[in-house]
Structure 1
Amino acid sequence: MSDVLAIAEHRRGALRDVSYELLSAGAELAEETGGELHVAVLGGRIEEFTRSLSKGDVDVIHTVTDGEEFNHDVYTQVVGQLVEELDPSVLLVPNSVNGQDYGPAIANRLDRPLVSDVTDASFDGETLSATRQMYGSKVETTVEVEADRVAVMIRGGEWPGANDSSDPEIREFDADIDESAVRSTVKGFEEVGGGDVDISEAEVLVSVGRGIEEEENIALVEELADALGATLSASRPIVDSGWLEKNRQVGQSGKTVTPEIYIAIGISGAVQHVAGMKGSETIVAINTDPNAPIFDIADYGIVDDLFDVVPALIEEFE
């Protein structure tokens, strides 16, 4: 076996959390393959990103100056050339919107088996065992791939982000971009669902579920979020009802979040919702049902009526 190559991800001038999670996942796999952990960062604020990615057990960082934002045609060319030159055992890509765009294309082009939406992975000899969740995270499966070269796409929020500083070797990669094959141009960026809130970047989230009962009651939870300096988010029923915008939704069909504090108010804890927030550092749950699944993963639980608890919390924090 040989090295692991992880592709960092950035958006609008900032590295995304999944980039640091890639370092942790990549370090585990590199230790098992007996190789080095290589990380590539394409475009953007190269020097700043390089410093930020010098963490954990990274051995080499490859920098590519092409492009400020993600472009499918550029990424498929550059990452493909990197993989051909380094010939890593594992190509590690985020299971993000961008990763789902270029990851399968590269795996197909280089004839590598691809395992997507992976929540855990390990090697036993030359067999990759990858854990995936199916049917809305109701079923957990293990996929075994017997191949000496694979591509793996990891789900965000499943690995801790690497923190310890390291001193990796920095190598500039001079990609040979065929401009005639670049058929798309990035004109700008617009957050899906409207608004300017990115709940995936929030340090504290106050999340509301169907227990709020009526749309006008959401103002109560908003008041708590304001008192905490937190960001308001929601479970799917709230968004489906049109009470909050799609960009506020946490869960399998929404966003994966990993805040320092996640306060779940009136949320039962369906598997689809838990899949999007279980990586939170501290989880606080407020629910009248002591048997609600959310309490199985909560660090702190309050079994009481949210209409009694939330006003008391607002008074305390104000």
Structure 2
Amino acid sequence: MSDVLAVAEHRRGDLRDVSYELVTAGRELADATGGDLHVAVISGDTEKFADELNREGVDFIHTVSEGEEFNHDVYAQAVEALHAELDPEVLVMANSVNGLDFAPAVANRLDLSLATDAVGFEYDDGLEVTREMYGSKVETTVEVGGDRTAVTIRGVEWPAADGVGDAEVAEFDVDIDTDAGSTVTGFEEVGGGDVDISEADFIVSIGRGIEEEENLDLIRDLVEATDATLSSSRPIVDNGWLPKNRQVGQSGKVVTPDVYLAIGISGAVQHVAGMKGSDTIIAVNTDPNAPIFDIADYGVVGDLFEVVPELIEEFE
């Protein structure tokens, strides 16, 4: 029997969705290794977070009450100490800005093999991780060597854990060196702005296919006709055509609307990570082999400058 340790993630007083997905992924691994699932909650309101994470499948929750927000040194030291205490077979973390900050440091200190951005895995006398390459056009299987391994999982690839659990919750006593080097000086929301796209029910999102900033007027007409919310992939924001708060993806916001209409978006992995949890995905693209069609529920292979006016006319 070998245990699994998953490290939860929170921000501004709330658990992030990936924390519940980590429970599902961790339970999957624990079932394969024949061990228990341990969940670490570090910093912030650990009592509240532990209660919220006490889902079906969690065996133990360990809290470390040090600091309020994410801090590299606090997380690295706490996870290292927990790993030394529990000796888990697999350490599971989020493939997020925070997770990718401390995961390599912990793996290096503990001499763990590390695989990042997993979209799936299997365990049979060792960990095999599925990753995507070439803009999600190719899936690869990687054998992660070593007796003890670490993996970061991509958000929205595993369902969120549900059901009330009966995990044992206990404070983990660890001596954190708060003078280790890094200090949290503040928190700045990505984009701020006039609208929170993560709360939208119907999103119209645009990508490189729009070609020029002037063509945004056509998309805004569609947004108005459908009473939707406008968002975009990263290139549109990088060009300065839309503000940062409108960006969907790994470096933007994660959205889960009822309907996500992707117009002129190829479907790069960074963008897909932010919207693949949408209930219904509709894609419009001239390239029939665009990766966006792999996850779309409905697709139109055609010129957006012909398709969008037809949509506007239909909705009006």
TM-score range, shorter chain: 0.7 to 0.9
RMSD value, Cα: 2.9
Report the Cα distance in structure 1 between the residues aligned to 2:263 and 2:14, rounded to whole angstroms: 33
Kindly indicate whether the alpha-carbon contact (under 8 Å) linking 2:225 and 2:312 is maintained by their aligned counterparts in 1: no
SS in 2 for 1:130: strand
Q: Match for 2:308 among 306, 309, 315?
A: 306
SS in 2 for 1:92: strand
Give 1:123-142 correspondences, 5 Å limit: 123-125=123-125, 127-142=126-141
Gaps of 5+ in 2: none
> Hey, what does 1:263 align to over in structure 2?
260
Q: In the TM superposition, what are the counterparts of 1:109-148 in structure 2 within 5 Å? A: 109-125=109-125, 127-148=126-147
Structure 2 residue aligned with 1:67: 67
Describe the shift of the 1:260–1:35 C-alpha distance in structure 2 as closer, same or farther (beyond 3 A): farther
Q: Determine the structure 2 residue equivalent to 1:108.
A: 108
Rounded Cα–Cα distance in structure 1 between residues aligned with 2:221 and 2:54: 39
Change over 3 Å in CA distance of 1:58–1:101 after alignment to 2:
same
How far residue 288 of structure 1 moved from its aligned partner, in angstroms, is 6.9
TM-score, normalised via structure 1 length: 0.85
**How many residues in Structure 1 have an aligned counterpart in Structure 2?**
311
Paired with 1:41 and 1:85, the residues of 2 have a C-alpha distance of 15
TM-superposition CA deviations, 1:185-224 (whole Å, max 9, x none): 2121113456476656756533123454543453564576
CA distance in 2 between partners of 1:173 and 1:63 (Å) = 6
Structure 1 residue 283 corresponds to structure 2 residue 285: no
Assess, with a 3 A threshold, how the Cα gap between structure 1 residues 309 and 288 changes in structure 2: closer, same or farther.
farther
- Structure 1 residue corresponding to 2:216, chosen from 214, 218, 229: 218
TM-score, normalised relative to structure 2? 0.85
Aligned with residue 249 of structure 1, among 241, 247, 250: 247
- Residues 211 and 308 (structure 1), Cα distance of their counterparts in 2 relative to 1, 3 Å cut: farther
Q: Where does structure 1 lack aligned partners over 5 or more consecutive residues?
A: none
In structure 1, what residue type is equivalent to 2:131?
R
**What amino acid sits opposite 2:171 in the alignment?**
E
Distance in 2 between residues matched to 1:245 and 1:274, nearest whole Å? 16
Quick one: which amino acid aligns to residue 185 of structure 2? K
Query: For residues 261 and 277 of structure 1, do their structure 2 counterparts lie closer, same or farther at Cα, with a shift above 3 Å needed?
Result: farther
Q: Aligned letter for 1:283? A: T
The equivalent of 1:184 in structure 2 is 182
Compared CA separation, residues 285 and 157, structure 1 to 2 (3 A): same
Farther-moved stretch of structure 1 (193-202 vs 235-244) = 193-202
Q: Specify the alignment match of 1:151 in structure 2.
A: 150
Residue 109 of structure 1: how far off its partner (Å): 0.7
**Aligned equivalent of 1:28:** 28
Checking the alignment, whether the CA contact within 8 Å between 2:56 and 2:166 is kept in structure 1 is: no
CA distance in 2, matches of 1:23, 1:237: 33
Alpha carbons of structure 1 residues 18 and 223: separation in structure 2 relative to 1, 3 Å: farther
Task: After TM superposition, give the deviation of residue 239 of structure 1 in Å.
Answer: 2.6
